[in-house]
Structure 1
Amino acid sequence: MADALSIIITLNTILAVLTVFREPRDIAATWAWILVLIFMPVVGFVIYSFAGRKLPAKRLFAFQGQDASLMEKKIQERVAAGPDPDVDLRVARLPRSARSLVTLFQRINQTPLASNNDVEVLTSGQAFFDWLKESLRQAKETINLEFYTFYSDELGHEIRDILVERAQAGVEVHVLYDSLGSAGTTARFFAPLTAAGGHAAPFLKRRFNLVNFQLNFRDHRKIVVVDGRIGFVGGFNIGDQYLGRKKKFGHWRDTHLKIEGSAVYYLQAHFLLDWNASALKKPMVVTADHYFPALPKKAAGETDLQIVTSGPDSDDEQIKMGYIRLIQLAKKRCWIQTPYLIPDDSTIDALRIAANSGVDVRIMLPCMPDHMFVYRATQYFASELVKDGVKIYFYQNGFLHAKTMVVDDDLASVGSANFDFRSFKLNFEINAFLYDEEVASTLASTYKKDMEQSSQQSIESFAKQSRWLRFKQVASRLLAPIL
């Protein structure tokens, strides 16, 4: 019996090592998966089969075709005919710190600076959904929506019915949703939309695809583009909880942007790429004029920004690199809001260096979990960072879901990417990086108001936690690279 058990353990260990090292991955994730496979025989391999394998090469290639270059050329033509075609001059006018960030994204994400945008910051579900519904009802030609969560609840039905009405009126409607994030929402829910001539598809999902089913590599992006002129990007999804209607979470605190101007072109381009990679039998013509209408002769606004994406289709971790660069550029303040704090070593070092250099580094987190292991790991990293002078706040008025960063007086980021391994490496994400004093000031003022409903944590407050709670935090931290 002992010999048989020894053989099983040996074989399990060998198979675990061979399985994990079969695919290239970073060291932290490698060791985390080895722990799972060795200490959870059989069960660990089942978990790995659904959550550990990398995205198949054929699926990655779907994002790397010619569509991107064709759209880039189309956008360049539109910008050149717009009210302020000299983008290089706009870049030159930015502060030196901002120019370095623009250059970074131009090189690792092929993302030009989008100038002359009007940007409105939306920090409540009521404000966001009021604007969203009004924009959808006013659509004349096209509506493109992409959400991680599109629930079939009261709000979901309301948004879907508006889309049905616009499709019946002749508007071209496309909806892309993540099948795991939108659990419970099926093709039947979107049947009235498809019957009206609209289109809905799950992100990267294939029928009868159990062999290649993945729990990882989710479409966490939130993109809305109406008539190619109005765009939305940020943290809200579609569902009743985002209006504070779920007792579990209470008030939902999030941040979204409403954008008009040339930046909408880039939201549109990323939606088209995601749609064509998912709905292979119903591709959209990426160079169609009505997706990229001519810019008005008068500039929409004064805000300069870049739309940046990241995901497992690239090894560059573009949004994470943007976050790190923002932290490095901070001279006075770096204020962060995120529901999940599970940074890798490079991000931790950036935060520690900034805090120990005299920068006012603050991180605001929710006071409650929505994913237990993730929240315990978040608590662990918060307790470690506070030792280096990072100010940690727990938001008490419901659930904080905003993903924002404000640096000094003129740099900011708002989007879908959390401050964790999953958003950095595993999810498809999208953020707006903004170079504008007014937007930064608005976000900073919002942060201050949120602080009034938050409790600041200290080394002493973390030390008062029970041993059992700290054990759970440490154990969760070991699995951080794969949470």
Structure 2
Amino acid sequence: MAITWTIIMWSLLLVILVNEIAAIYTVFREKRDIAATWAWLLVLTLIPGFGFILYAFFGRKLPHKQLERIKSQTQLKLRQALEEQKQQFINMPKPKDQTVQIYRRTIMLFQSIDASFLTRHNNVSIFTEGNALFKKLFDDIAAAKKSVHVEFYTIYNDEIGNELRTLLEQKAAEGVEVRVLYDSWGSMGVWPSFYDHLREVGGYAAPFLMSRSNFFDFRINYRDHRKIVVIDGEIGYIGGFNIGDQYLGRVPKFGPWRDTHLRIIGGGVYGLQRRFIGDWNASMKKDEDKIFHYHPYFRPIKVHGNVALQTVASGPEAPLEKIKMGYLRLINAAQDHIWIQTPYLIPDDSILDALRVAAHSGIDVRIMIPSMPDHAFVYRATQYYARDLANHGVTIYYYQQGFLHAKTMMIDGRMASVGSANLDFRSFKLNFEVNAFIYSQDTVDELEKIFVNDIRNSRVITPEMFANQPRWLRIKQTISRLLSPIL
């Protein structure tokens, strides 16, 4: 009996040793930030065997060739015109108006890190409800004359997804150039055959960068989380809505869906068109499927709006976390208030410290998050950081009227960001995202009025209320927080 137990003990020690060696090799063979490195080492060490299955889904990076494909496509930048615009800002006399100075520095940041044009005189409409958004979007697609480019993380095979597909098939049959780019994981359950008829009538559809289905591509990280539509190179859509019945409030689990999306007419569409072409070309293996003639998509747009904006894209192919840097810039520029809506609040240390500093400096920092989870671990981590920030003077709201999915940030009534990027590690480091950064007091004022209206459907969660949460709930929040760099 003693010999048997000795064999079992030595066998267990051998398994633990082999698991630890494999964990160290797996984690350190790929370059990643320190927080994610230690988080994965913790998972692989504490969950022998099964931890490697989790790593296969959540931890593997994109192959170098795929990253190079997406990186090479970012060269579609109209460099000469951008350099001329950058020089204008560099040579501009220092403005006396502090607002103009803040605009100028933020604009120059995005010109430098993302080659992003500042476009003026845009018309911008804000949508917060799915029925109104999809009616306008479908009307614009139905009126398209030359091209319809669609890129979404999620396009479901449900009622609204089929309505969109049918409309795109009709436009392709009319001779309109129709291209659809979707994420194979986000569009779970939608096989390539879903778009067979679209292809038969002359349209195009493909998964972003990845394999043709999740059966072959089960990597949960490095997804195309962007939501872009460009119609005739003149009308653009960007924001938080995907294509699915749940985004119309038709799924009882979530109830009414509260999101924020923009419709843009003007030069701001160029940034969305450039991003779509880059993503499309990176996803095509054959040259004949790529877009090489750009000029038809960048025609002059006659519009007399008053909204200045830049579109900024970020992803794991770039060394800088560009949208996160934009968030930091806005937070650090605030003088009066910072109002944020995000479904997932899992900030890294830089964002967390910036929010703490702002709150302790007397700035009115308010963050609105959902009152219900859609991902258990993610929501517990969100609660952990909400509790931390509440203890530092940030006002935390739980939105009660359905699920809050909006990704917005408003600063001092002067600047705002609306797009696909959440305030979390995944959007900063792991996913491909795109946001519009807006410099228009009228538009920002409209976004802030929406925020104030949402407060009526929310409740404040105070530090005392967080402190009185059940101990087991706080333990789950703390455990989830340890995994935050990889959630």
TM-score where L is the length of structure 1: 0.94
Residue in structure 2 matched with residue 414 of structure 1 by the alignment:
418
In 1: Cα distance, 2:126 partner to 2:475 partner: 39
CA drift at 1:284: 3.1
SS of residue in 1 equivalent to 2:278? helix
Residue in structure 1 matched with residue 5 of structure 2 by the alignment:
none
Residue in structure 2 matched with residue 83 of structure 1 by the alignment:
none
SS of residue in 2 equivalent to 1:369? coil
Read off the aligned partner of 1:477 and give its amino acid letter. R
1:167-186 maps to which residues of 2 (within 5 A)?
167-186=172-191
Residue 239 to residue 379, structure 1, CA distance change in 2 (3 Å) = same
Is residue 2:75 matched to residue 1:49?
Answer: no
Is residue 2:243 matched to residue 1:238?
Answer: yes
CA drift at 1:131: 1.1
What is the percent sequence identity of the aligned residues? Answer: 53
In 2: Cα distance, 1:89 partner to 1:141 partner: 39
Residue in structure 1 matched with residue 409 of structure 2 by the alignment:
405
Is residue 2:63 matched to residue 1:59?
Answer: no
CA drift at 1:279: 2.1
In 2: Cα distance, 1:140 partner to 1:225 partner: 12
Residue 143 to residue 91, structure 1, CA distance change in 2 (3 Å) = farther
Residue in structure 2 matched with residue 344 of structure 1 by the alignment:
348
SS of residue in 2 equivalent to 1:430? strand
Residue 452 to residue 229, structure 1, CA distance change in 2 (3 Å) = same
1:246-285 maps to which residues of 2 (within 5 A)?
246-281=251-286, 282-285=288-291
Residue in structure 1 matched with residue 298 of structure 2 by the alignment:
292
SS of residue in 1 equivalent to 2:16? helix
Contact 1:217 1:312 in 2 (8 A): yes
In 1: Cα distance, 2:213 partner to 2:414 partner: 49
Contact 1:311 1:429 in 2 (8 A): yes
1:339-418 maps to which residues of 2 (within 5 A)?
339-418=343-422
Tell me the alpha carbon deviations over residues 165-224 of structure 1, each in whole angstroms, 9 at most, x when there is no partner. 111111000000001100011122112211111011011123599787522100000000
Deviates more, 1:248-257 or 1:39-48: 39-48
Aligned residues: 475
Could you list the runs of 5+ residues in structure 1 that have no partner in the other structure? Answer: 81-85
In 2: Cα distance, 1:103 partner to 1:377 partner: 34
Contact 2:57 2:220 in 1 (8 A): yes
Deviates more, 1:325-334 or 1:212-221: 212-221
Residue in structure 2 matched with residue 154 of structure 1 by the alignment:
159
In 2: Cα distance, 1:421 partner to 1:232 partner: 25
Residue 384 to residue 208, structure 1, CA distance change in 2 (3 Å) = closer
Contact 1:121 1:256 in 2 (8 A): yes
Residue in structure 1 matched with residue 485 of structure 2 by the alignment:
481
Deviates more, 1:280-289 or 1:337-346: 280-289
TM-score where L is the length of structure 2: 0.93
1:192 is aligned, of 194, 197, 207, to 197
Tell me the alpha carbon deviations over residues 259-307 of structure 1, each in whole angstroms, 9 at most, x when there is no partner. 01111011000001111111222533243322112232xx431111110
User: In angstroms, what is the RMSD of aligned CA positions?
Assistant: 2.2
Read off the aligned partner of 2:385 and give its amino acid letter. F
Residue 476 to residue 228, structure 1, CA distance change in 2 (3 Å) = same
Residue in structure 2 matched with residue 222 of structure 1 by the alignment:
227
Contact 2:76 2:278 in 1 (8 A): no
Point out 4+ residue stretches in structure 1 off by more than 6 angstroms: 74-77, 86-94, 208-212
Contact 1:147 1:238 in 2 (8 A): yes
Residue in structure 1 matched with residue 3 of structure 2 by the alignment:
none
CA drift at 1:382: 0.3
Tell me the alpha carbon deviations over residues 237-274 of structure 1, each in whole angstroms, 9 at most, x when there is no partner. 00111111110000000000000111101100000111
1:464 is aligned, of 464, 468, 472, to 468
Contact 1:263 1:306 in 2 (8 A): yes
Residue 314 to residue 251, structure 1, CA distance change in 2 (3 Å) = same
Read off the aligned partner of 1:219 and give its amino acid letter. D
Read off the aligned partner of 2:32 and give its amino acid letter. R
In 1: Cα distance, 2:484 partner to 2:107 partner: 30
Read off the aligned partner of 1:16 and give its amino acid letter. A
Is residue 2:127 matched to residue 1:107?
Answer: no
1:441 is aligned, of 441, 445, 455, to 445
Contact 1:333 1:359 in 2 (8 A): yes
